[in-house]
Each structure stands twice: as structure tokens, then as C-alpha cells.
Chains A and B, each alone.
Chain A
Amino acid sequence: MFQPVRAPHQDHHKSPIMDTTLYTAKLPYLIYSIQPGNGQSGMRSSSNQQLPVISQTSTCSLSSESGDPCGSAKWAASLLRECAKAISEKDSTKIHHLLWMLNELASAYGDCEQKLASLFLQALFCKATETGERCYKILTSVTEKSRSFESVRKMMLKFQEVSPWTSFGHVASNGAILEAFDGGSKLHIIDISNTFCTQWPTLLEALATRSDETPRLKLTVVTTVSMEKSVMKEIRQRMEKFARLMGVPFEFQVVSELSRLAELTKEELGVQEDEAVAVNCIGALRRINVKDRDAVVRMIHSLGPRVVTVVEEEADFTSSSMDDQFVKCFDECLRFYSLFYEMLEESFSTTSNERLMLERECSRSILSVLGCDGEVEVDVGDEESEIRERGRQWSQRLRKEAFSLVGFSDDVVDDVKALLKRYRAGWSLVLAQGDDDSAGLYLTWKEEPVVWVSAWKP
């Protein structure tokens, strides 16, 4: 029987944005009724198995009325959930049956449903055949080889142009950093993120136009994604050039030969006593192995920063490493990536190569979370987790390591609101409210929180 997906946190009364069960009412679903399989002459039916027979009944047609590009028959989600359930129950006949069906119907280049099917098929197949790690390693090496500075930059710029998914975090973080730096003359930003420095030109511009003396800025980029050296070289050249143009005294350094983020020190990062330090973590914390996350937060604390900005996608994949939690984790992945894909579909043009690149990245992420029993060690020491946590969970970690929240000023909130106005309808901003664990700002799409940003100080 079909079960509505429940979010891990059931605190409906505390804050409306935390109740993610709201979304299920909006989407029509096929209702499965389980009937005994029909025997056909010449074909032996497995008498003990109850295979799903699909009848089409839609519960609510809200989506089709609002022009949902993904159509009203959400067959992919249903099939995928059944398959995940079969995998957790180790029902091999059913697993193979469903994988076979998904294989027939999936297409990475089709409509939303076909794409979702294709997206998860790979992960489920690898999970069922225990070939996840091998597959992930191949995919990673292929991606590394084929990603160039040009292609990645194009993808990011296009994404920022059509969707505030990434620029939301940039604007809020920059705002918080600039306010924390106010008055300082020697600034050091430690950038632990996956944004290829697309965030910083705006900040440089703002520093250049400050009414007082232009401060010096040192930017230390800690790369969390493996990539060819040529990419960082390009980025360095561009940043130095731009800083020169802006008239901001600028220094750029890269820390890339990393074993574990937790082992970084002040010295290694080149933090000096007279510097005002900001640590910027965008999509970075989730790349750390779950067991090391507290240690990294502690390390950041030891740098004595004026502000730490954290941006993460709002999803909880932490149940991935627990055997009996596979379905729970799967449901959450399905929820999140369905949203993401829908958003991509509505934001990009149909024939966009940039969207294709983003979709392929999702494929790797999901393979890592679902197909590889949690975390993969690509190379010894390299951290490549994709296990996301929600804002509330990150907040708990930060508070535990003696960080306290820095609220975003009205100015920054206004800036973010202005940003959102540039995009298509559907995007909005919600402030976390209420208790101790809530913090920061949420970007919502169709009223679902999708990206979380917050600022902290020791």
C-alpha cells in the first residue's frame, strides 16, 4: 500500500516550514492495490508472491491544473518506492521484476517521470547487485576527466541565471560576512565550498565601494571536490584580475592536497593573528564523513572567526548507513530530488545542456547515498560524502561546539528578497522562527524549504 512520506521531524506545531508532509497533498498519486497475480496459461505465476497490479486513480488533480510539467501520473515514484521496499525486504523476485520494468520505462532524456526513474534506477540496480562502489568510482573518474573550467563555469552561471538555488546562499552569506567585517582592514575569507568562487566578485565589488579605506582581502579556497589543477588555475587568474580591477589588494591561495578537513590548522590555512577571519561553507559540510562532522566544526571554531556562514540543501539522508533504514532514506532522497528535478524542469529550457550536467551530478550523488551503503572512499582519505542534513540538524552541531547564531540584518534580508524577485514565481524566503534549534533563512520553492543559510559566531 502506498504510504505518504513523512519528514523525520514531526514538530508540526513549532514551525510551519518544518512540516514537509504538506507537499504530499499537492501531488496526485497512483494508488496501488495489491491483488494476487493472475496466472496465465503457459506462464507459471509465483503463488506466494503478491505482485502489484497497477490501477490508475488520481487522488488530487491540483498539479495538473497548475500546469505541472511533470504530468499527473506519478508512476515513477510508485515503482521506485516498491522497488526500494523489495530491496529492504530482500525479495529478489520482486526486485528483479521491478528493476526490469523500470529499465524498460526509464530514460535520462525523457519527461520528468522517465528522468526520475532513470535517476534512481542506477542506484537501485547497484544496490541490488552490490556494485555501487565500483560504479561510483568509474563515474567519478569520468566526471573529473571531462569537466573543464569552461563547462563548469557555464553550468554554474546558467544555473544562477535561471534559479536562485545557489545565488540565494551567496547573497545572504556575503551580506553576513560584510557586516561581520565592518571596519576591519585585513580580511581573510576561508572558502570551503563547491561554488568555484562565483560568489566572490560581488563581495569584492562591495569592498571596493566601501566608504572607508579599502581593506586587504586574502581568500583561501579549500577545495572539497576533486578536479583538475587547471580549473583552480583559471579561477585564480580570474579572481586576481578582477580584484586588480576593483582595486582591492588581494591574495589568493588554494589548499587542495587534503587528507581530512578535520585536520586543518590555523597554520596550514595561513591564518594570522591580526586578520579578521570569516569561514564560508557552502555545500561543504555535507561532503564530510558523518562521523567527522563535529570535529570539523570544532576545528573551524579554533580558527577564531568573526563569522561562519553555512549553506546547505534541506534534506536528511543520515539514515543511509543503517541497514533497516533504507526505505526511509530512499523516500527522503526521492522527495528531495523529485523537487529538484521539477525545479530544473521549470527553470531551464527543454534543450539545455547545463541542466543535463546538473542532472548527471544528481545521479552521482544518489548513487553515493543509496547505492554505496552511505559513504564511499574514492581514494584513501578523500572525503566524498553526499549525506545531507537539515538546517535544524546542522544547528544542533554548531551549538554543541559553542557557536551561537548571528541573525541576518534587515538589509541582508531585503537584499535576498530583491534577488528572488528576479526569478520566476514560486520562490520565496522564510525566516526560521521559534525555538533554540531553528536558525537562519530558508529558500522555499512552491512552499517547500529547499536551501538553508545561516551565520554563526563563536
Chain B
Amino acid sequence: MLQSLRLQSSINANPNPNSTMRPKRSDRESHAGDSTGDNEDNQARKRFNFGRNLSGEATVSGEKSVRHEDEAEEEIVIGGESSGLRLLGLLLQCAEAVSMDNLDEASGLLPEISELASPFGSSPERVAAYFAEALQARIISSCLAIFQALEAEDRVHVIDLDIMQGLQWPGLFHILASRSRKIRSMRITGVGSSIELLEATGRRLSDFANSLGLPFEFHALEGKVGNITDLSRLAPRQHEATVVHWMHHCLYDITGSDLGTLRLLNLLKPKLITIVEQDLSHSGRFLGRFVEALHYYSALFDALGDGLGGDSVERHQVEQQLFGSEIRNIVAVGGPKRTGEVKVERWADELRRIGFRPVSLGGNPAAQASLLLGMFPWKGYTLVEESGCLKLGWKDLSLLTASAWQPSDQSL
């Protein structure tokens, strides 16, 4: 009955010129000579078309759509500067959020970036695809670390040794607010150089916490924590877990006297100290490094795109397996340790001396991860456990130096 079924023509909703089945009222004459439609269709494809058309013209109109389209293997070709710029703009916005530990905003931006990006598209799309993926990975691991630390706690006291605008905390608020087990009390003591700034930060955080229904207190501590003599305000309350968040900025001294800081940590015996080692290359911060990398890989992808075809499987494999990993390593964690080496080792000794011992981020991943990595030699990852820190490396580059510390006498 449907012997004359021709898949292609029917799906295209166009009469197939090769069809033996003639439409009752043949309109072929009217559009047979319509060759200009071809160009317009190609142009329509090339237009940046994501539900909105930047050039303001109508997309493929009903008229042209009925022709038989010669659709060979097409890629979504995005023309125009605007789409690439928009994508990169979003990426930078996201990276900035990550660099400020504003995980909430970052994870809100990522889906849009990912949707626009593609490893099979234009250069900006390909670069964006891998960077977005790397950012995603970083967000997930940051979230995991925080979550894990606070999972069992009802009362939390966070001491942020350099709170600035406090942009890293709303994300945590969100997580705590959406937990099924409601948190009983949450207080943040923010340390900073200007009392006005601190109070402004405190107000903002309070407003946000209130909007989420979180019980919240903020205390401002002006000055450098290493120089604090009166520790009563930092003392933990009953059943309260103390977490010290310490973002190392080696470009300037935030904590004051190192000895003082150590003494403080010793006294506080926080349940967890999270230390994040930032890259200290000439650009100084995550964001700078991110932008640098973006430029570099954009150029590289461009060059590759010129040399090989748009649908080159080899290019895709090189980009995904080699550069994708490289990008991820740069973005996902601290980055190459150039000046940081000495410092971390020093801190490790010091922390040990005052009674802390390292805790790995997830139980005992070293042995297992090692075995896992052993299965994928081509990835070029190395895993080294050194001085209580877990160091994940890519070839010769050390990437992740994460350390978490807890009092030695504490049992988990």
C-alpha cells in the first residue's frame, strides 16, 4: 500500500523531483526556476540563528521552504563576530564568578554557554566547549569539597580570612538552604582591612540569608587575623563546627603575622581548613591565567581549523584528547606551581607542628585514583602524594594542589 514510500522526500516535506508519484496539482513550474532560493537558504543557515536573528531579517520563509533542498553533510555554521563574542563574553563572566568562588552564579551561566558551544563548530564554539567543560568540573569539585565538610553539621562558623565582598558565600547559603536537614545556625566572621567594607558585606550576606530563610549572623573583624589578640569572638560555641577558609594570595599579605595565624588556628582547632593554592604566575590570578589560556587556545584552534576540514575527525580527537585535557587542567584547579612549592611545604610542616594533619578530599582517593589512572596511560596524568597533599599532574605540570587539614586528635 505504501510501496512508494520515499523516506527522504516525505520527511523533507518537499516533493521529490525523482518521485514517480506526481502531486495532483503540480506546482513544479512555479518553483522550478527558483535557483536564487539556494543561496538564500545557505545564507539562512549561516546566520546566527538561536531563536533570535541578529540581522533582523526573516529566516527561511514559508515560500522557500518548499523547494527540494540539496542537503549534504552540513555543519551549523555560525557567521558573524557577534556570536563568537557573545560566547567568549559569557565564558569570561563565568570564569570571573569561579575565580571569586561565586559558584552559584557560575553554575547558572554554564548551561547557556554549553548549549551555544560545540566541539564540532567554529573556533570560538570549540574553544568554549572545552573551557565550559573544565569550568563545570571545577565547580563540581568545589561544591563537593564544601558539601562534604558541612554534611553532618548543624551549626557552622566560617572564618573567612579575607572576605572582601563575600561573593563566595551565597553559593554555600544556597546549598545549606536546600538541604533537607535544616541548619540550626550559620555564622560568618569576615576578616578584612576596612570596617566599612566589612559591614557592607555583612549586610548583603544577611539580606541574602534572610531571603533563603537561613538563620545567619555576621561578625566583622577588622585587621589581619595573625595580629588578633582577643580571640573570644572567634571561639566556637557548643556543637558548632568551625571552618577556616583561606585563599592564599601571595601577592599581598593578608594574614599578618604567620606565627599569629598559626597560633590562632591552633587555638581554634577548626574542623576543617580549606586552603586553595592559586597560581602565582606573572598574571597573578585565576582570571588572568584563564584569559591568557583562552587567547592561546583560540589561536591554536583557529590554526587547526584552517589546516583541517570542518568535520575532521582527527582534529576533533586531537582537540578533545589533548587540548581538552590541557584546558581542563589549567582551569580545573590551581595551575602550575612556580613559586608556590616552597610555601605549601612550609605550611604543611607548620600545620603539622600545631597539631593538624592532612585530610584527603574524599576518604582515601589516592590509592584508588592511582589504580584508575593506571588504566588510562594515554591521558598523561600523574598522581603524587606528597606531604599530605594530593598532587594531580599532567605530564610535568602540577595542577592540583589541594589540601585540607583537621586536628590530629579528631576521629572522623
A92 touches B148 (CB 8 A): yes
A351 touches B1 (CB 8 A): no
Nearest-neighbor residue (CB-CB) of B65 within chain A: A238
A188 within 8 A of B: no
A129 within 8 A of B: yes
A109 within 8 A of B: yes
B51 touches A145 (CB 8 A): yes
B82 within 8 A of A: no
Report the minimal beta-carbon distance from A110 to chain B, rounded to whole angstroms: 6
A184 within 8 A of B: no
Of B107, B144, B360, the residue contacting A103 (CB under 8 A) is: B144
Interface residues of A in 281-327 (CB under 8 A from B): none
B49 touches A37 (CB 8 A): no
Given A138-B111, A202-B5, A228-B51, are A44 and B372 neighbors across the interface (CB < 8 Å)? no
Given A129-B143, A241-B62, are A54 and B412 neighbors across the interface (CB < 8 Å)? no
A145 touches B50 (CB 8 A): yes
- Proximity bits, B50-92, A CB within 8 Å = 1, else 0: 1100000001111001100001011110000000000000000
A344 within 8 A of B: no
Nearest-neighbor residue (CB-CB) of B66 within chain A: A241
A97 touches B24 (CB 8 A): no
- Proximity bits, B105-122, A CB within 8 Å = 1, else 0: 001100110111011110
Report the minimal beta-carbon distance from A165 to chain B, rounded to whole angstroms: 13
Report the minimal beta-carbon distance from B14 to chain A, rounded to whole angstroms: 8
- Chain B residues lying within 8 Å of A237, measured Cβ to Cβ, are 61-62, 65
Nearest-neighbor residue (CB-CB) of A106 within chain B: B137
- Chain A residues lying within 8 Å of B71, measured Cβ to Cβ, are 157
- Chain A residues lying within 8 Å of B336, measured Cβ to Cβ, are none
Of A54, A108, A135, A241, the residue contacting B65 (CB under 8 A) is: A241
Nearest-neighbor residue (CB-CB) of A42 within chain B: B388
Given A92-B151, A99-B144, are A105 and B372 neighbors across the interface (CB < 8 Å)? yes
A-B contact count (CB 8 A): 254
Q: Whole-angstrom distance between the alpha carbons of A228 and B21 in the complex?
A: 35
A214 touches B24 (CB 8 A): yes
Q: Whole-angstrom distance between the alpha carbons of A75 and B61 in the complex?
A: 48
Report the minimal beta-carbon distance from A407 to chain B, rounded to whole angstroms: 15
B344 within 8 A of A: no
A143 touches B137 (CB 8 A): no
Of A45, A150, A208, A230, the residue contacting B45 (CB under 8 A) is: A150
A150 touches B59 (CB 8 A): yes
- Chain A residues lying within 8 Å of B151, measured Cβ to Cβ, are 92
A51 touches B2 (CB 8 A): no
Q: Whole-angstrom distance between the alpha carbons of A151 and B118 in the complex?
A: 13
Nearest-neighbor residue (CB-CB) of A235 within chain B: B13
- Chain A residues lying within 8 Å of B115, measured Cβ to Cβ, are 142-143, 146, 360
A100 touches B365 (CB 8 A): yes
Given A51-B363, A245-B27, are A238 and B51 neighbors across the interface (CB < 8 Å)? no
Q: Whole-angstrom distance between the alpha carbons of A108 and B120 in the complex?
A: 12
Given A129-B147, A238-B62, are A107 and B320 neighbors across the interface (CB < 8 Å)? yes
- Chain A residues lying within 8 Å of B368, measured Cβ to Cβ, are 37, 51-54, 97, 101
Interface residues of B in 294-337 (CB under 8 A from A): 310-313, 316, 320-321, 324
- Chain B residues lying within 8 Å of A49, measured Cβ to Cβ, are 363-364
State which of B172-180, B186-194, B259-267 sits at the interface with chain A: B172-180
A208 touches B24 (CB 8 A): yes
Q: Whole-angstrom distance between the alpha carbons of A40 and B112 in the complex?
A: 43
**Band of interface residues on B:** 35 or more
State which of A1-9, A265-273, A415-423, A433-441 sits at the interface with chain B: A415-423
- Chain B residues lying within 8 Å of A40, measured Cβ to Cβ, are 364, 366-367, 385
Interface residues of A in 74-103 (CB under 8 A from B): 75, 92-94, 96-97, 99-101, 103
B129 within 8 A of A: yes
- Chain B residues lying within 8 Å of A101, measured Cβ to Cβ, are 365, 368-369, 372
Determine the main DSSP class of A at the interface with B.
Answer: helix
B24 touches A246 (CB 8 A): yes
B157 within 8 A of A: no
- Chain A residues lying within 8 Å of B366, measured Cβ to Cβ, are 40, 43
Nearest-neighbor residue (CB-CB) of A55 within chain B: B371
- Chain A residues lying within 8 Å of B360, measured Cβ to Cβ, are 43
Q: Whole-angstrom distance between the alpha carbons of A103 and B12 in the complex?
A: 41
B231 within 8 A of A: no
Of B12, B73, B152, B364, the residue contacting A157 (CB under 8 A) is: B12
A205 touches B21 (CB 8 A): yes
A449 within 8 A of B: no
Given A109-B119, A125-B140, A245-B27, are A411 and B2 neighbors across the interface (CB < 8 Å)? yes
A175 touches B1 (CB 8 A): yes
A245 touches B45 (CB 8 A): no
Q: Whole-angstrom distance between the alpha carbons of A232 and B305 in the complex?
A: 36
B228 within 8 A of A: no
A45 touches B364 (CB 8 A): yes
- Proximity bits, B163-185, A CB within 8 Å = 1, else 0: 00000000000110011100000
Q: Whole-angstrom distance between the alpha carbons of A40 and B111 in the complex?
A: 39
Could you jot down 8 A-B contacts, CB within 8 Å?
A37-B364, A97-B362, A97-B368, A146-B115, A151-B50, A245-B15, A245-B25, A415-B5
A→B interface (CB under 8 Å): 37-40, 42-46, 49, 51-54, 56, 73, 75, 92-94, 96-97, 99-101, 103-110, 121, 125, 128-131, 134-135, 138-139, 142-143, 145-151, 154, 157, 160-161, 167, 171, 174-175, 178-179, 198, 201-202, 205-206, 208-209, 214, 228, 230, 234, 237-242, 244-247, 349-353, 356, 360, 411-412, 415, 418-419, 422
* Top 6 closest pairs, chain A to chain B, by CB: A247-B24, A237-B62, A202-B10, A97-B362, A351-B120, A201-B13
